[in-house]
Amino acid sequence: MRTLGPGSVSSLLKIALDVAYVLLMIITAVLLLVFLASIFIPLANLNITVSNDTGGRQQPLTRPLLLFGVGALTAYFGGFLLILRNLRMIFRTLTVGDPFRPENVRRLRQIGLILAIVTGGVWLVQGLVAARLAPGVMDSQGVGELLTPVFSVLVVFVLAEVFKEGARLRRESELTI
């Protein structure tokens, strides 16, 4: 089976990315509506329970806490929606058999940047939640938990440079007569 061009593995992956993109768009839109609605929802006597294997604690649900939680979740899914949008555009060039385009270099860099922001945001939010909302119940992430995501971000940036070199070589070969 071919890896590039129409009817290839890349075209099947593009279809899967399209489906995932639509689902993620729906989830993000619903979360955005929940975020907007949570500005107006009355919060009288609502509590949340934060627990682990050894126990837990209850905390009153305040508007800033609700907005922070729903906002962080919306931003998380929104970041991955942007990543999928760029991936779909990259796979569109793969399905036509022309991956080494300058636009793909920019798209890969954007993916790397968004992935770095989402990773850093998750790390910060988990630290805030562990310190403020669930001290003693939830542990904050250490630097060791960042190794895999940071490695992934670096791989995406290296891939962008590989695509940049491929685009340069393609441009040179087109100029050769």
pTM of the model: 0.83
As a whole-number percent, the residues of the chain with pLDDT over 70 amount to 92
Mean pLDDT of 2-15: 82
The conformation of residue 60, written as its DSSP 8-state character, comes to: E
Longest dimension (CA), the chain: 77
Sign of CA dihedral 143, 148, 149, 151: positive
Q: Which residue did the predictor score with more confidence, 48 or 10?
A: 10
Q: Which residue did the predictor score with more confidence, 133 or 137?
A: 133
Kindly indicate the confidence band of residue 163, based on its pLDDT and cuts at 50, 70 and 90. very high
Q: Which residue did the predictor score with more confidence, 113 or 145?
A: 113
Kindly indicate the confidence band of residue 114, based on its pLDDT and cuts at 50, 70 and 90. very high
CA distance 8 to 127: 43
